[in-house]
Amino acid sequence: MNRERRILLFVLDALFPPLCVSCRNRISFRNDKSRVLCQRCLNSVELNKHYFRIPFKMAGRQRVFTLGALSSYSDKVINLIVHALKYDGFYLLAYPLAKLMADYLNFSGLRNIITPESVITPVPLHPSRLKMRGYNQSEIIGEELGKNLEVPALLLLRRKRKTKEQAVILTEEDRRKNVRGCFEVVAGRKNEIAGRQILLIDDVFTSGATMLEAAKVLYQNGAREVIGLTVAKA
């Protein structure tokens, strides 16, 4: 950090002391990189030690979808971060989440099955929702995680139609119907999918319908393996 920047951050700290979104204690612009979450709250997140292997059938063929969730939605800090990212515009919270995701991959052993030629991609938002929120939190997490794992992060999928929010739909069958056929491959990206291991990023895994639907499109386009990574499993 150069001298001017240090002085600027010092002044900003003094004038507008930032508060941790979780514990509301003062945090320092200089010490806490995310500037929205303090180190103590970050360290308090309980990381999962496991991941899941979910078998499913596609075109008569048995497939396995691997799913890793870094923590639980019942973790107080995680719950708050996910909510603040989704509804309150705190996009900076995606950065500490990417760090937690990298820690989780090591902690759970998932890191060992990730190959150097993997590619990271987020579950896309519909353009209208993206415009409203201004960012896709899964995309930021994916980009940061990509730097950490030294694998590329690319936008491979897009929403071709708008869906209702999964959280307001009650039955699993209706959730599957809601997202059926809603994704397609971004033009010109097909070559990036065939034969590769793809790390698919989303924030919360509830019924899994959205993520499985996205995974199916990747498999249909020749992905060798899809590993779903989410912040929390509800």
Interface residues with Zn ion (CB under 5 A)? Answer: 20, 22-23, 38, 41
Min dist. Cβ of residue 28 to Zn ion (A): 12
User: Where does residue 117 rank: exposed (0-12), middle (13-18), buried (19+ CB within 10 A)?
Assistant: exposed
Residue (41 or 214) nearer to Zn ion, CB:
41
Min dist. Cβ of residue 39 to Zn ion (A): 8
Q: Strand 183-185 to strand 157-159: parallel, antiparallel, or no bridges (unpaired)?
A: antiparallel
Residue (47 or 211) nearer to Zn ion, CB:
47
Helix (H, G, I), strand (E, B) or coil at 12: helix
d(CA 138, CA 215): 15
Residue (26 or 180) nearer to Zn ion, CB:
26
Task: Decide: 75 and 45 in contact? Cβ < 8 Å.
Answer: yes
Q: At what angle do helices 76-87 and 94-108 cross, to 10 degrees?
A: 140
Min dist. Cβ of residue 93 to Zn ion (A): 12
Min dist. Cβ of residue 5 to Zn ion (A): 24
Residue (23 or 92) nearer to Zn ion, CB:
23
d(CA 2, CA 127): 38
Residue (41 or 70) nearer to Zn ion, CB:
41
Closest by CA to 21, choosing from 30, 32, 8, 12, is 32
Min dist. Cβ of residue 47 to Zn ion (A): 17
